[in-house]
């Protein structure tokens, strides 16, 4: 007897890596390890960047508010407004993910064969009404504004948005940024416009969209973000944790344990190398990354004994002695070398963090 399985109904997943979003289930949080991010124009949960024109208006945190996620999810990205901020014409606030060109090349955007894509996600906000966001390219001269409605406050709602691929503009097909996908927290009139079509004007949100930053304590939570080719949303693509972590580590990696913020004083996870003799001559080495990076970049090193950045620990027979500022030598996409001289040591210990974000 042949048993037919309806993939759409069962939630099974025979087509892997259809989701162009990395960390769409908001599971990986290497930088902050669950702590709130209050600064702007920085990465929060892995692959999600908080962008804005004013600081201290909104905080982003994994599982902010400790609400129950939608069925099938454990984590979400939570934004919480810190004041009742009146957005000026040129202000904007958003969370967005930049997508690498290699991960979108097959979509053919910028050509006559541009494919349609469908965005789907779960969202919960204390504010009902029209919400939205945008798609844009690396040159910031192609924009598409989308909108959706949140009908019930403080209730998880599932949204799908279908967008015709852009036949104009330049969209990377290599290691540089291709598509920016943004979710609006509050945008002034300068960057607000009509939803539903591609254009060259810088637009980040639909006209009249709800301003989360405009209400003190307002919340905007999101998870299950998926962007895929086609006109219909499929069930969220769950990837194994190790696979999702490795995808994130192409852009950001640390030597620390996943629950430890870089710069913490700890020996756990440190790189340690001992030599056979004590010396003040050249001492150094090469550290290989766990995952090849998107580009060759210079890492930040930390001394395990005190967490100070730009430093490593010199060791004598397994005991940390001096804190030394090394020279980083020939950083590559798969690792970096470093050395120091003039400090008596027969080994070294170091932590590192490296970002190759778009």
Q: Which residue has the tokens 């050395």?
A: 339
**What are the average pLDDT values for consecutive 10-residue runs of the chain, which has 358 residues?**
32 70 98 97 98 97 98 98 98 98 98 98 99 98 98 99 98 98 98 98 98 98 98 98 98 98 96 81 90 98 97 87 94 96 88 98
Give the DSSP H/E element, type plus range, for residue 85. none
**SS3 assignment, position 100:** strand
pLDDT given at position 15: 65
**Helix and strand numbers, DSSP H then E, in the chain:** 2, 23
pLDDT given at position 344: 85
For residues 220 and 145, what is the distance between their CA atoms, to the nearest angstrom? 19
Q: Which of 297, 301, 267, 308 is nearest to 284 (CA)?
A: 301
3-state helix, strand, coil in the chain (%, to 5): 10, 40, 55
Read off the DSSP letter of residue 191.
G
Q: Do the beta carbons of residue 289 and residue 253 sit within 8 Å? A: yes
For residues 331 and 344, what is the distance between their CA atoms, to the nearest angstrom? 25
pLDDT given at position 13: 42
Spans of all domains in the chain:
7-249, 271-355
For residues 215 and 217, what is the distance between their CA atoms, to the nearest angstrom? 6
| Fold of domain 7-249 | Jelly Rolls (2.60.120)
CA distances (Å), origin 323, targets 171, 301, 328 = 45, 12, 15
For residues 333 and 326, what is the distance between their CA atoms, to the nearest angstrom? 19
Burial of 142 (0-12, 13-18, 19+ CB in 10 A): buried
């Amino acid at each position: 007897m042949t048993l037919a399985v309806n993939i759409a109904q069962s939630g099974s997943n025979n087509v892997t890596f259809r989701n162009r979003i990395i960390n769409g289930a908001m599971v990986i949080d290497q930088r902050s390890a669950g702590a709130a991010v209050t600064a702007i124009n920085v990465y929060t949960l892995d692959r999600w960047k908080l962008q804005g024109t004013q600081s201290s208006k909104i905080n982003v945190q994994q599982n902010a508010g400790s609400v129950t996620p939608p069925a099938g999810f454990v984590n979400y990205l939570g934004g919480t407004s810190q004041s009742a901020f009146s957005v000026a014409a040129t202000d904007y606030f958003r969370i967005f993910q930049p997508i690498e060109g290699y991960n979108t090349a097959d979509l053919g955007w910028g050509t006559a064969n541009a494919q349609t894509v469908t965005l789907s996600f779960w969202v919960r906000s204390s504010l009902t009404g029209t919400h939205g966001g945008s798609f844009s390219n690396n040159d910031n001269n192609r924009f598409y504004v989308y909108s959706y409605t949140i009908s019930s406050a403080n209730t998880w709602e599932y949204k799908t948005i279908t967008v015709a691929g852009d036949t104009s503009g330049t969209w990377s097909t290599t290691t540089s940024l291709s598509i920016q996908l943004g979710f609006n927290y509050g945008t002034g009139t300068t960057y607000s416009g009509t939803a539903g079509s591609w254009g060259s004007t810088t637009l980040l949100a639909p006209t009249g969209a709800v301003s989360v930053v405009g209400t003190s304590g307002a919340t905007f939570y999101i998870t299950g973000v998926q962007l895929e080719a086609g006109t219909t949303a499929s069930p969220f693509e769950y990837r194994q944790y190790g696979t999702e972590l490795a995808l994130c580590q192409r852009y950001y990696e640390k030597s620390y344990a996943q629950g430890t913020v870089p710069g913490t004083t700890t020996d756990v996870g440190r790189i340690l190398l001992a030599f056979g003799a004590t010396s003040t001559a050249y001492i150094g080495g090469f550290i290989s990354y766990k995952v090849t990076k998107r580009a060759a970049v210079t890492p930040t090193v930390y001394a395990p004994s005190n967490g100070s950045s730009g430093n490593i620990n010199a060791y004598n027979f397994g005991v940390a002695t001096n804190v030394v500022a090394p020279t980083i030598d020939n950083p590559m996409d798969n690792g970096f070398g470093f050395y120091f001289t003039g400090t008596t040591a027969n080994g070294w210990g170091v932590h590192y963090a490296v970002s190759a974000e778009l």
